[in-house]
Amino acid sequence: MDRSKTGATATKTPALRVAVVGATGYTGGELLRLLVTHPRVTIAAVTSEQSAGKSLGEVFPSLARLVDQPLVAFDPEKIAARADLVFVALPSGSAMQAVASLVGLGRRVVDLSPDYRFVDPATYQRWYAVPHRYPTLLAKAVYGLPELHRRRIARARVVGNPGCYPTAALLALAPLVKKGLMRPGAAVIIDAKSGISGAGRGASLPYHFPEANEGLMAYKVGHHRHQPEISQELARLANVAPPVVFTPHLVPMTRGIFCTIYAETAAALTPERALAIYRGFYKDEPFVRVLEEGESPQTKAVWGSNYCDVGVAVDPEAKRVVLMSAIDNLVKGAAGQAIQNMNLMCGYPESLGLTAPPVFP
């Protein structure tokens, strides 16, 4: 795993002008919430097709008077003239063109859609039902999980920010998969639960509060679009990806993802050794906290933060492990990780602007 750090001369760098394209969704709002306190950033432009002409405070009262820029319609040439780096928070398909236009105008981009996450354009087409129109640019994009691809992210012009479920699942699985400790051919079972904000601000009826409150349901079983992301990155860690059984669930809370992952090891693994592996793997990572034996992550313990908490339980006789992880889906699962990637791309300290502790209760 690449652990090189950048950012030794960050204090000599002038303020970075950034734009947020698609600023009025939950992810766009979260980006702006974090960016307004970033010490090396100036927010140069915010876009929205439906809310162009409005102030940001009209759309997000929580951000009233914190961002002076009015919302404007997206024009790539105007955005490129005003910003050095652009966050694109548009739906899949729409982001593809926007990213290509901005890169063509010489701008660096962190894309929060799925459009630049995949190595193989055929995988994208299979899961998103449209061909990728920019396969050459896709081949140059870097999957933006810093804990696995830090050095490549630092050199990238385009970063495909990971999905929220893959972030939580991959950070839980990476140490064992990278060290080749999984039983060959055995399926990895990922039971994942997300808060309602993961469905976005324009969610369909089943994801509205009256429909989801006091309930629990699985959705998109066997065909959730985050599954190929997980498989892709596991294959890059181990050359041959273990089969993945991924089942997402909707729980009636606003924020958070909790993953419980069941996997088999090739040989018996003691709790002490498992924890030593995880602590060694993540010892230099600013945002991964490996919990003590017997402790379980909690979504409330990472709420509003860029942390991922990881817990490990081991059954040595059965050669089985239960891995657990918790993140805030809007922060480490989206906006916070995007800013972590921006920091790497710009030579800033990786944790700059992201050190606020979780909110509790």
Q: Which whole number is the average pLDDT over 99-113?
A: 98
Q: Give all strands of the β-sheet with 320-327 in edge-to-edge order.
A: 217-218, 244-250, 188-194, 257-264, 320-327, 308-315, 288-290
The single-letter DSSP state of residue 90 is -
**Long-range contacts made by residues 300-303, C-beta under 8 angstroms, separation at least 24?**
300/256, 300/358, 300/360, 300/361, 301/326, 301/358, 301/360, 302/256, 302/326, 302/327, 302/328, 302/331, 302/332, 302/358, 303/255, 303/256, 303/328, 303/358, 303/359, 303/360
pTM above 0.75, yes or no: yes
Task: Give CA–CA dist 356/60, Å, rounded.
Answer: 21
Task: Give the pLDDT confidence score for residue 62 in this predicted structure.
Answer: 95
3-state secondary structure of 278: helix
- Asked whether the predicted pLDDT for residue 144 surpasses 70, the reply is yes
Domains of the chain, by residue range, sit at 10-162+332-346, 165-329
User: Any idea what the Cα angle at residue 339 is, between residues 307 and 172, rounded to 5°?
Assistant: 35
Band of residue 13 on the pLDDT scale cut at 50, 70, 90: low
Mean pLDDT of the chain: 93
Task: Give the pLDDT confidence score for residue 334 in this predicted structure.
Answer: 98
- Asked whether the predicted pLDDT for residue 359 surpasses 60, the reply is yes
Task: Give CA–CA dist 114/101, Å, rounded.
Answer: 17
Task: Give the pLDDT confidence score for residue 167 in this predicted structure.
Answer: 98
Confirm if 231 and 163 have CB atoms less than 8 A apart.
no
- Asked whether the predicted pLDDT for residue 273 surpasses 80, the reply is yes
Confirm if 18 and 89 have CB atoms less than 8 A apart.
no
Q: Which whole number is the average pLDDT over 68-91?
A: 97
Task: Give the pLDDT confidence score for residue 163 in this predicted structure.
Answer: 96
**Could you tell me the CA-to-CA distances from 304 to 37, 92, 271 in Å, in that order?**
14, 25, 30
Task: Give CA–CA dist 55/19, Å, rounded.
Answer: 15
3-state secondary structure of 42: strand
Q: Which whole number is the average pLDDT over 181-196?
A: 95
Task: Give the pLDDT confidence score for residue 12 in this predicted structure.
Answer: 58
- Asked whether the predicted pLDDT for residue 45 surpasses 60, the reply is yes
- Asked whether the predicted pLDDT for residue 47 surpasses 60, the reply is yes
User: Any idea what the Cα angle at residue 91 is, between residues 89 and 97, rounded to 5°?
Assistant: 85
Q: Which residues pair with 72 in a beta bridge?
A: 47
pLDDT in tens, 293-351: 999 999 999 999 999 999 999 999 999 999 999 999 999 999 999 999 999 999 999 99
The answer as to CATH 3.30.360.10 being correct for domain 165-329 is yes
- Which helix (H) or strand (E) element contains residue 166? helix 164-178
2 phi, psi to nearest 5 deg: -85, 120
Report percent pLDDT > 70 for the chain.
Answer: 96
Cis peptide before 361 (omega within 30 of 0): yes
Task: Give the pLDDT confidence score for residue 207 in this predicted structure.
Answer: 75
pLDDT in tens, 194-243: 999 887 777 677 777 788 888 899 999 999 999 999 999 999 999 777 89
Task: Report residue 8 as tokens.
Answer: 């030794």
Output the DSSP codes for 91-138.
-TTHHHHHHHHHHHTT-EEEE-SSTT--S-HHHHHHHHSS--S-HHHH
Q: Which whole number is the average pLDDT over 71-98?
A: 97
pLDDT in tens, 50-61: 999 999 999 999
Start-to-end CA distance of the chain, whole Å, equals 35
Q: Which whole number is the average pLDDT over 239-255?
A: 92
Q: Which whole number is the average pLDDT over 73-84?
A: 98
- Asked whether the predicted pLDDT for residue 258 surpasses 70, the reply is yes
The answer as to CATH 1.10.10.10 being correct for domain 10-162+332-346 is no
Q: Which whole number is the average pLDDT over 14-27?
A: 95
Task: Give CA–CA dist 338/344, Å, rounded.
Answer: 10
Catalytic residues: 164
Q: Which residues pair with 158 in a beta bridge?
A: 109
Task: Give the pLDDT confidence score for residue 16 in this predicted structure.
Answer: 97
Band of residue 3 on the pLDDT scale cut at 50, 70, 90: very low
Q: Which residues pair with 260 in a beta bridge?
A: 191, 324
